[in-house]
């Protein structure tokens, strides 16, 4: 059971979150890694309620959850378009599966991934054999991870070249800052804009423009948390914005406050 690098991109005030919960990331079994980026495991025991906030990634999650005084349940969380908030209180546990962009479709091939976007579907009919108690109850973390592997492998996902193409394209956007315009990206990949958008709708759940913008905000959020003296104008140019004002607008619309105010608060 290998831990995954602790990348905090997307977590709003990650340091604060880690003081309230025990948060871990773990790799899935090797046959699942073409589909699944990581499992994420959270346990908490709080005397006061705490609300976590995340700027979501372009990824679908299956989440097994146990909250205080509630029966365990499972939900499919499609890509959330805005800031995601979750209230935690008392004692609880979550075992989540974060799929790679494009990686969820082979587990539910009859549904385009846009069908899940913006929704959190509890006890989805598409996974009738999901057993939340079997995932959440074991005391040993290794047993919970093994149960997640067993659940996913039991769904017998089949390789899908279109899913793999979608994953590769999103990975390219994630790692290449020079990708700034959908038309230029489509041309470089030998695709029409329409074909690229259709692929993203069917396999990712959001359009390529959304993905480009979201990774910009993740980078800005990370810089705000790790650098006490960010040169916002230089960062805006580095991320492909026309000027600092456009970065400030997108950041505030997504996170809820301007980047300078956020940076001051976390430091």
What lies within 8 Å, CB to CB, of 38 at 6+ separation is 4, 25, 26, 27, 28, 98
Query: Per residue in 153-209, pLDDT tens?
Result: 999 999 999 999 999 999 999 999 889 899 999 999 999 999 999 999 999 999 999
First to last CA, the chain: 34
Residue 2 has pLDDT above 70, yes or no: no
Interatomic CA distance for residues 104 and 109, integer angstroms: 8
Do the Cβ atoms of 93 and 42 come closer than 8 Å? yes
In 3D, which of 58, 61, 59, 80 has the Cα closest to residue 211? 58
pTM over 0.85: yes
Interatomic CA distance for residues 198 and 205, integer angstroms: 10
Domains of the chain: 14-153 (2.60.40), 161-266 (1.10.10.60)
**pLDDT on residue 5:** 47
Residue 53's beta-bridge partner residues?
Answer: 85
Provide the angle, in degrees to the nearest 10, between the axes of the packed helices 208-226 and 259-266.
Answer: 40
């Amino acid at each position: 059971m290998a831990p995954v690098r602790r990348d905090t991109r997307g977590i709003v005030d990650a340091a604060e979150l880690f003081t309230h919960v025990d948060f871990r990331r773990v790799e899935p079994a090797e046959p699942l890694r073409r589909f699944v980026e990581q499992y994420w495991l959270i346990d908490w025991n709080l005397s006061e309620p705490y609300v976590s906030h995340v700027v979501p990634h372009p990824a679908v999650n299956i989440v097994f959850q146990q909250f205080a005084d509630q029966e365990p349940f499972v939900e499919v969380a499609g890509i959330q378009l805005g800031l995601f908030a979750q209230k935690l209180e008392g004692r609880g546990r979550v075992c989540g599966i974060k799929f790679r962009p494009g990686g969820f479709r082979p587990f539910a091939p009859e549904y385009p991934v846009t069908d899940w976007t913006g929704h959190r579907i509890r006890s989805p009919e598409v996974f009738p054999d999901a057993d939340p108690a079997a995932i959440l109850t074991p005391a040993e973390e290794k047993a919970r991870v093994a149960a997640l592997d067993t659940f996913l492998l039991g769904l017998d996902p089949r390789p899908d070249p279109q899913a793999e193409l979608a994953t590769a394209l999103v990975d390219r956007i994630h790692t290449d800052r020079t990708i700034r315009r959908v038309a230029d990206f489509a041309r470089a990949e030998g695709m029409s804009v329409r074909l690229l958008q259709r692929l993203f709708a069917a396999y990712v759940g959001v359009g390529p423009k959304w993905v480009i913008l979201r990774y910009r905000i993740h980078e800005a959020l990370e810089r705000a948390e790790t650098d006490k003296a960010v040169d916002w104008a230089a960062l805006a140019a580095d991320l492909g914005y026309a000027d600092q004002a456009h970065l400030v607008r997108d950041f505030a619309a997504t996170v809820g406050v301007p980047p300078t105010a956020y940076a001051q608060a976390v430091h």
